[in-house]
A and B are shown apart, each in its own frame.
Chain A
């Protein structure tokens, strides 16, 4: 495997937290390579460190030691502005609680990603319409989040995650608040994006969603216990 194929690499990553006076080792000597175009499922029980792993892989949190190589760049010591730009250009986020802005309509929520860019409003709108069409939500474009079901909100969040054509989508328990039918819908959608756009997808979950992934990373006590 050449270095060019590697999208994200974690090298000897450690992360500790202090909680109620106790030190919790959230990540212990984690080494991981995610190739470009892979669909990786990170699974493990609650508190095993999988969300912390997602946070450090995306630059939302910094490791205590070790390196995170994101698309050839070590982001473990990057400035906050550099990380913001990296996220705007290369990362799409999908959250468990959807995190849509309640005062914005579906299309405005999707467009919001591109507001700080130099793109014209018409181009932004066209891209948002295209993204909403891809997630089969165009008929709901003028609805507010409260007017949509959980599954629809998550599909809107996925449209928001792909509008800027990122290289990686990071999803934190994307089906955690959804019923089984909506879960299947959301995971199928992520799978389709992974296949059609060759976007690297990393899903963190406590459920067994390994059937959707090309790689499953099992975690326990801050360590990677098995990679399938």
Chain B
């Protein structure tokens, strides 16, 4: 079912792109503030971290809500053709997790390019005052792991909403 969740995510191009972009920015900023908190370079970094995690929680809930609510008729049809609530939850959870995972990959990719570009410039003695490593791997991994834990709450919300989708909706005529 996870592979099918990935397929469904990729086909929902607009929603997938928007949420991947938002997750990428959030993971990047949260990781950066973890880095600053670790190195004690910024006072009050903890407050920013709390804000980013709060935003991440809100977004995860919003994403779960959008995935279930906007596609109620699809999930109702799936129930008609024999899907259990758990089958549908597996699809929705997979879609949310995949989006976060791609956000994580994009952040890593950006950091790789940043380091590569600076190393290249340093070879010609440009921008020597900038650190080649913008954010270490550990803060990024910690952030991504915590984001996934936060999403467990979104799964609970999604499950409660999936339970409420009655298969009979699929038989209602469009516009009824």
- Which residues of A pack against B, CB within 8 Å? 51, 54-55, 60-61, 80-81, 84-85, 87-89, 91-93, 95-97, 99, 101, 103-104, 108, 112-113, 115-116, 160, 164, 172
Contacts and interface: CB of A to CB of B under 8 A. Distances in A.
Nearest to B74: A101
A80 B77 CA distance: 15
Interface of B: 1, 4, 7-8, 11-12, 73-74, 77-85, 87, 166-168, 170-171, 173-174
Contacts of B11: 103-104
Given A103-B11, A108-B7, A116-B87, A84 B171 contact: no
A114 B7 CA distance: 15
A138 to B, nearest CB: 21
Contact of A93 (B1, B4, B73, B81): B81
A93 to B, nearest CB: 5
A85 B166 CA distance: 15
A142 to B, nearest CB: 13
A87 B1 contact: no
B84 A89 contact: no
6 contacts: A60-B80, A85-B84, A93-B170, A95-B80, A97-B173, A113-B82
Contacts of B4: 112, 115
B171 A172 contact: yes
Closest 5 CB pairs of A and B: A88-B82, A103-B11, A99-B77, A116-B87, A87-B82
A111 B156 CA distance: 28
Contacts of A103: 8, 11-12
B78 A55 contact: no
Contact of A87 (B12, B81, B166, B168): B81
A81 B82 contact: no
Contacts of A108: 7
A55 B171 contact: yes
Given A60-B80, A81-B84, A88-B81, A116 B167 contact: no
A141 B150 CA distance: 40
B82 A84 contact: yes
Nearest to A54: B171
Contacts of B81: 87-88, 92-93, 112-113, 160
Given A51-B171, A95-B80, 20 more contacts: A60-B166, A60-B171, A84-B83, A84-B85, A85-B84, A87-B81, A87-B82, A88-B82, A93-B170, A96-B173, A97-B174, A99-B73, A99-B77, A99-B170, A103-B11, A104-B7, A115-B87, A116-B1, A116-B83, A172-B171
